[in-house]
Amino acid sequence: MRVSKQKVGEHRDAILVAASRLFRARGFDKVGVAEVTQAAGLTHGGFYGHFASKEALAAEVCDLSFGNAVRRVQASASLEDYIDYYASTEHRDREGPCPMVALGTDVSRLSGPVRAHFSAGVARYVAALRAFMPEDDKLAEGRASALVSILVGGLSLARALAASDPALSESILDGVRAQAKGLVKTHA
């Protein structure tokens, strides 16, 4: 039985969404193609009709995940509001947090295509933060990159400590919000 082009697109999207959630929750290496297709409500056999390999899927998951992250930045009323969201306990405790926190370590162990898509995603994310800064600010690009480092590093530590030392985890989030907002305000 032939499947309509619309249904093929829906299946592909379902695989991408399921893979994004699973990869961000457990990492690229700990999730197999069969698990992704099952989570998407599909059979394993159809996977290769949509993607050449798990690596090709991982590269597209980077694009999808960073696209969602950039849209969250762009939808924020201000950079301070975004910082409050990003360095929150709600975001820390999400099963699949930001792609830089969830996938950064895995990407360093993967091949070129996934790394290239991840790098392009980080660049898009930095640009989205940079867009909130004054156009004539010659140091804004560096501050946007530093802001990403503060947010991602802080959230990574806060996640790692959340179960064993909740007070320290909260303290890190408080510090991230203060330092990130300070970086933005002192150069506005």
Backbone angles phi, psi at 2, to 5 degrees: -75, 145
pLDDT digits (tens, 9 = 90+) for 98-152: 899 988 888 888 878 899 999 999 999 999 999 999 988 889 999 999 999 999 9
Which positions ≥6 away from 122 have C-beta within 8 Å?
Answer: 66, 100, 148
pLDDT digits (tens, 9 = 90+) for 61-100: 999 999 999 999 999 999 999 999 999 999 999 887 789 9
Helix, strand, coil shares of the chain as percentages rounded to 5?
A: 75, 0, 25
Q: At 174, is the pLDDT very low, low, confident or very high (cuts 50, 70, 90)?
A: very high
Burial tier of 79 (Cβ tally within 10 Å: 0-12, 13-18, 19+): buried
Task: Measure the CA–CA gap between 108 and 118, rounded to whole angstroms.
Answer: 10
Question: If one looks up domain 5-185 in CATH, what number appears?
Answer: 1.10.357.10
Q: Are 85 and 155 in contact (CB under 8 A)?
A: no
Domain ranges of the chain: 5-185
